[in-house]
Amino acid sequence: MKNNQMPYYFDYHAHAPIDPRVKDAMMRAFDNVDANPHSTHIHGTHAYDGVERARAQIAQLLGAKPSEVVLTSGATEANNLAFAGMADHFDAQGRNQLLVSSIEHASVSEAAGSLKKRGFEVVMVPPEPDGRITAETFASRISPRTGLVSVGWANHEIGTVQDISAISKLARSHGALVHSDLAQAAGKVAVDAKLLDLASVSAHKMHGPVGIGALFVTRRLRAKMKPHLIGGGQEGGLRSGTVSAPMATGFGTACELSSAEFVDEAERVSSLRDKLLHRLSSIPDSSVNGFSVMRSTSSLFMHRPGLHRWPRWLPIFGTVS
Ligand SMILES: Cc1ncc(COP(=O)(O)O)c(C=O)c1O
């Protein structure tokens, strides 16, 4: 840290600072579409158009249809809605077992765990020593009672990118739904909603504003989902509450920029990461955790013995230098 400057900020898993172009788009939106998008007057109609433009931009990044995007306050809410919203459907199908990767963000593991009191069996599926959760590990646990398989596309602590295609194929061959938390993947690595039935996204992990996110839910499932916030019936009845057109505009713009730029950006960031790794590797006893190939380009997880802030699940890992 120099003089009175702030320290360098590297933790883009926790929050990626807002892109100035996103901020500009939001400022314009505060001037042009600052109205209730659910009102039928002209101001409301403009705000509505802004929200629907954003929904289309979000859908495009995910490879989804706009009608499959439910706006929420972030990925935490989207994860909660995915589990709580589908519970009745799983019950009705006699599928009360949930298979959840054991290295998920708390908003997934706790949303799943909260269904135990409703009689669900929640099976935590462990990773390999390098951070991958394999389809084979799910295969030994999946059964006709499995309602949902949930695994994050990119891990929020060590950045491992999972083989969602293989996991999705396995889950669907057993009639189970597939959920993925895309909070650390969308806008950083290629994602494909066609492999998924439910997925959660957060704007502020991809240089958008804090406080908005989305749940992707297929049209077939929308009718079966129960809302967890009730009231005005916004978002097709799945998430009541006035949608902020300026916030949606920021999220949509971040998605549009990511769609256009993430391939080049991934190359740029991974070369910076490799330089950083090279420099930090000279620190005695340091090592890198996580599979070195299938790893989000923006992630570098290193440790030195004795340092704290250790992911709760890492003791079961070996280290990969
Ligand atoms: C993988 C993952 N899921 C969910 C969240 C929560 O996202 P939000 O802040 O949008 O609620 C985070 C944030 O740290 C995350 O890393």
72-94 tens-digit pLDDT: 999 999 999 999 999 999 999 99
12-70 tens-digit pLDDT: 889 999 999 999 999 999 999 999 999 999 999 999 999 999 999 999 999 999 999 99
Tell me: do 188 and 215 sit in the same domain.
Answer: yes
Tell me: do 157 and 302 sit in the same domain.
Answer: no
23 lies in some domain: no
Centroid of ligand 1 to alpha carbon of 313 (angstroms): 17
In this structure, the residue with its CA closest to atom 12 of ligand 1 is 183
Tell me: do 282 and 178 sit in the same domain.
Answer: no
In this structure, the residue with its CA closest to atom 16 of ligand 1 is 156
Q: Which residues line ligand 1 (CB under 6 A)?
A: 13-14, 74-76, 105, 107, 152, 156, 181, 183-184, 202, 213
Centroid of ligand 1 to alpha carbon of 193 (angstroms): 18
Atom of ligand 1 nearest to the CA of 213: 10
Atom of ligand 1 nearest to the CA of 204: 10
In this structure, the residue with its CA closest to atom 13 of ligand 1 is 14
Number of domains in the chain: 2
4 lies in some domain: no
Predicted pLDDT at 318: 41
10 lies in some domain: no
If residue 148 lies in a helix (H) or strand (E), which one and from where to where?
Answer: strand 146-150
At residue 7, does pLDDT exceed 90? Answer: no
Nearest Cα residue to 186 out of 200, 166, 171: 200
Contact predicate 120/150, CB 8 Å: no
Distance CA 311, CA 155 (A): 11
Tell me: do 136 and 210 sit in the same domain.
Answer: yes
Atom of ligand 1 nearest to the CA of 154: 1
Atom of ligand 1 nearest to the CA of 74: 10
Length of the chain: 321
Contact predicate 246/33, CB 8 Å: yes
Predicted pLDDT at 314: 52
163-204 tens-digit pLDDT: 999 999 999 999 999 999 999 999 999 999 999 999 999 999
5 lies in some domain: no
Tell me: do 75 and 147 sit in the same domain.
Answer: yes
- Mean of per-residue pLDDT scores for the chain: 91
Distance CA 174, CA 168 (A): 10
Q: What percent of the chain has pLDDT over 70?
A: 92
The two structure tokens encoding residue 89: 């459907």
At residue 223, does pLDDT exceed 50? Answer: yes
Centroid of ligand 1 to alpha carbon of 43 (angstroms): 33
Centroid of ligand 1 to alpha carbon of 74 (angstroms): 7
Tell me: do 293 and 252 sit in the same domain.
Answer: no
In terms of residue numbers, what domain contains 103? 42-230+237-256
144 lies in some domain: yes
* Residue in this structure with the two tokens 């709760």, named with its chain if needed: 312
If residue 255 lies in a helix (H) or strand (E), which one and from where to where?
Answer: helix 245-280
228-276 tens-digit pLDDT: 999 999 999 999 999 999 999 999 999 999 999 999 999 998 898 888 8
Residue type, 52: E
Centroid of ligand 1 to alpha carbon of 276 (angstroms): 25
Tell me: do 166 and 105 sit in the same domain.
Answer: yes
Centroid of ligand 1 to alpha carbon of 181 (angstroms): 8
274 lies in some domain: yes
58 lies in some domain: yes
The two structure tokens encoding residue 299: 């992630």
Tell me: do 122 and 203 sit in the same domain.
Answer: yes
pLDDT-based confidence at 214, cuts 50/70/90?
very high
Atom of ligand 1 nearest to the CA of 184: 1
Centroid of ligand 1 to alpha carbon of 9 (angstroms): 18
270 lies in some domain: yes
Distance CA 202, CA 75 (A): 5
300-313 tens-digit pLDDT: 877 777 665 555 55
Ligand 1 pocket mutation pick from 76, 81, 162, 182 by most atoms within 8 angstroms of CB = 76
Tell me: do 218 and 296 sit in the same domain.
Answer: no
Tell me: do 187 and 97 sit in the same domain.
Answer: yes
Tell me: do 161 and 276 sit in the same domain.
Answer: no
In this structure, the residue with its CA closest to atom 10 of ligand 1 is 74
Contact predicate 78/201, CB 8 Å: yes
CATH code of residue 96: 3.40.640.10
Tell me: do 190 and 145 sit in the same domain.
Answer: yes
